[in-house]
Amino acid sequence: MPEGDTVFRAARLLDRSLSGDLLVRSDFRVPQLATTDLAGATVTGTVSRGKHLLTRIDDPTREGGSWTLHTHLKMEGSWRVHRPGQRWQRPAHQARVVLETARAVAVGFSLGIVELLPRDQEDDAVGHLGPDLLGPDWDEDEALRRLTDDPTRPIGEALLDQTRLAGIGNMYMAELCFVSGVHPRTPVGEVANLARLVRRAKQMLELNTQRAAQSTTGDLRERERMWVYRRDRSPCRRCGTPVRVEMTGSAGRERAAYWCPSCQPTP
């Protein structure tokens, strides 16, 4: 599933490509919005909230006037922007939303969530989220308070809970646990310096909003970008011990956890 920085970059792309322009065509390829037509409305902006995208669209000539297109990439989704007439970068049958202006065609492919909300109902979609690591609402103290609500909860599970803090996915969870020297199953209450871990999370995501490819090591070469994520059986970059991987979480919500048995001993 895309991480918070990926969604942030998608929001930035949509904001730069569509904001201030009239829609000349909209095409919603989901049953609940199949007859919706927003042609003539103005896109006023797109923001990210954790892993959610909010595209705001206004048309004072219509009843209601202000809407928010709420989308979520889930596992396979992406937003791509093309020039009018340009061939799409993914197959047309994967398109779920098309927003076209005079200068750009934004296509949301394989989106996990597509819903059009009255603007005053945005909170129904994202109000449950914790402080956003990349958002204007970031509050380290509040994030720490939420993380420590249950000190017995495994740190890896807590970091993935978007109601604690928003933006961390499986990759950042694995990398943060490694650079902090804690096993993903370590109880939150036993993490020596949780505030430093959270600050590292913010730093990692912020740095990767400016890069074409994600990296937590600072090395942008293909096989050198990560410390442990998806490096099972490869030698640990610090000590040479083979990296381990294990499925964790409840049935239907399993995630792969990666760690070095030497640098991150089992609690």
- Residues 193-210: tens digit of each pLDDT: 999 999 999 999 999 999
Is residue 131 one of the residues assigned to a domain?
A: no
Q: What is the CATH classification number for the domain harbouring 246? A: 1.10.8.50
Q: Is 74 a catalytic residue?
A: no
Is residue 201 one of the residues assigned to a domain?
A: yes
Q: What is the pLDDT of residue 116?
A: 96
The pTM is what? 0.93
Catalytic, out of 12, 153, 237, 255? 255
Q: Which residues constitute the domain of residue 147?
A: 140-259
Q: Is 2 a catalytic residue?
A: yes
Q: Are residues 8 and 120 in the same domain?
A: yes
| pLDDT digit string, tens, across residues 216-253 | 999 999 889 999 999 998 999 999 999 999 887 666 66
Q: Could you say which of 99, 126, 153 is where a domain stops?
A: 126
Q: Are residues 164 and 233 in the same domain?
A: yes
Is residue 223 one of the residues assigned to a domain?
A: yes
Q: Are residues 115 and 11 in the same domain?
A: yes
Of 58-67, 116-125, 247-256, where does mean pLDDT reach its minimum? 247-256
Catalytic, out of 3, 100, 122, 157? 3
Q: Are residues 190 and 78 in the same domain?
A: no
Residue 119 pLDDT greater than 80, yes or no? yes
Q: Are residues 122 and 146 in the same domain?
A: no
Q: Is 202 a catalytic residue?
A: no
- What is the number of structural domains in the chain? 2
Catalytic, out of 49, 51, 56, 96? 51
Q: Are residues 110 and 190 in the same domain?
A: no
Q: What is the pLDDT of residue 212?
A: 81
Task: Compare 178 and 60 and report the one with higher pLDDT.
Answer: 178
**In what helix (H) or strand (E) does residue 157 lie, and over which residues does it extend?**
helix 155-160
Q: Are residues 96 and 173 in the same domain?
A: no
Strands (E), the chain: 25-28, 42-49, 52-58, 66-72, 78-82, 95-100, 105-109, 113-118, 244-248, 255-259
Q: Could you say which of 126, 151, 166 is where a domain stops?
A: 126
Q: Are residues 104 and 145 in the same domain?
A: no
| pLDDT digit string, tens, across residues 1-60 | 689 999 999 999 999 999 999 999 999 999 999 999 999 999 999 999 999 999 999 988
Q: Is 145 a catalytic residue?
A: no
Is residue 135 one of the residues assigned to a domain?
A: no
Q: What is the CATH classification number for the domain harbouring 66? A: 3.20.190.10
Q: Are residues 184 and 248 in the same domain?
A: yes
Q: Which residues neighbour 109 within 8 Å (Cβ) at sequence distance 6 or greater? A: 76, 77, 78, 79, 80, 90, 94, 95, 96
Q: Could you say which of 100, 126, 152 is where a domain stops?
A: 126
Q: Are residues 186 and 243 in the same domain?
A: yes
